Amino acid sequence: MRKYITDFTIIGKQVYNESYFSLTLQHPDRLPEIAAGQFVEVEVPDNKQVMLRRPISIHDVNIDNNTLTILVQVVGKGTSTLSKLSEGQKLNLVYPLGHGFSLEGTRTLLVGGGAGIAPLLHLSKCLSAKGIHPTILLGGRTAALIPVQKEFKPYGTIGFATEDGSLGEKGLVTQHSLFSADYDHIYTCGPTPMMKAVARYALEKGIECEVSLENMMACGIGACLCCVVDSDEGHKCVCKEGPVFNAKKLTNWIKQ
């Protein structure tokens, strides 16, 4: 798939709390096709201490308005700088990067945790457009760490799990009652321990499962080799050959 390097204009900003915000970015021309699960590499403007671009999942896409939205967690100097940007400013992106979710299955479960919730909104919309009504399970330590909630409602059945019980069922996402239903496909993105637990469950139950890995990425095109994962087929670059992988090909990673 062809890659682009383009300036986008920030036309919307939403601050959820001190940890999360989103930016809606408009392209001057029609956007190319963007698969659910792909990501962008964002150039951090006006910060000489941040040399490398930041990889960020594509949260939402509106082809009619030539816009895409990124959901960002503030974790360091780069994302802190991005959090201070305002509408009207420009952001330079390399996009769309990586391989997305397959959109297979008819009884699907989407499991997201923390910043891993980001790619699941676009995935929910893509599945809904195919006539698939997914079950969407979002988790976090507290309700505040599940920044996006109501946006999912038009596209599926939603459940929540928080470790402190402040939203939905108390406990880990893998302990949620929604896991007792019958699924033929599970998609997941979030903290590594959560994804490994979801993948193990899927493999034990014979359910197809796709995980979106979040390894450190510097280049986004497979040149720097800093995001390599130990797959069952050898070392794979998460940015180029992922970030989405079938769990059946990651048993080495799941066991680590």
- pLDDT for 186-215, tens place per residue? 999 999 999 999 999 999 999 999 999 987
Q: Which CATH class is domain 4-97?
A: mainly beta
How far, in Å, CA of 60 to CA of 23, rounded? 10
Fold of 108-255: Rossmann fold (3.40.50)
The tokens describing 191, both together, are: 């903290």
Cα pseudo-dihedral 50, 245, 16, 154, rounded to 10: 150
The predicted model gives 222-231 an average pLDDT of 79
How far, in Å, CA of 55 to CA of 52, rounded? 9
For residue 30, the tally of other CB atoms under 10 A from its CB is 8
The domains of the chain are located at 4-97, 108-255
Strand partners, 137: 111, 159
Alpha-helical runs (H) found in the chain: 77-83, 118-129, 192-205, 238-241, 251-255
Work out the end-to-end distance of the chain between its first and last CA atoms, rounded to an integer number of angstroms: 32
pLDDT at 1 over 80: no
pLDDT at 220 over 80: no
What are the strands, taking DSSP E only, across the chain?
4-15, 20-26, 39-42, 54-62, 67-73, 90-97, 108-113, 135-140, 157-162, 169-170, 185-189, 208-212, 228-231, 234-237, 244-246
How far, in Å, CA of 128 to CA of 158, rounded? 14
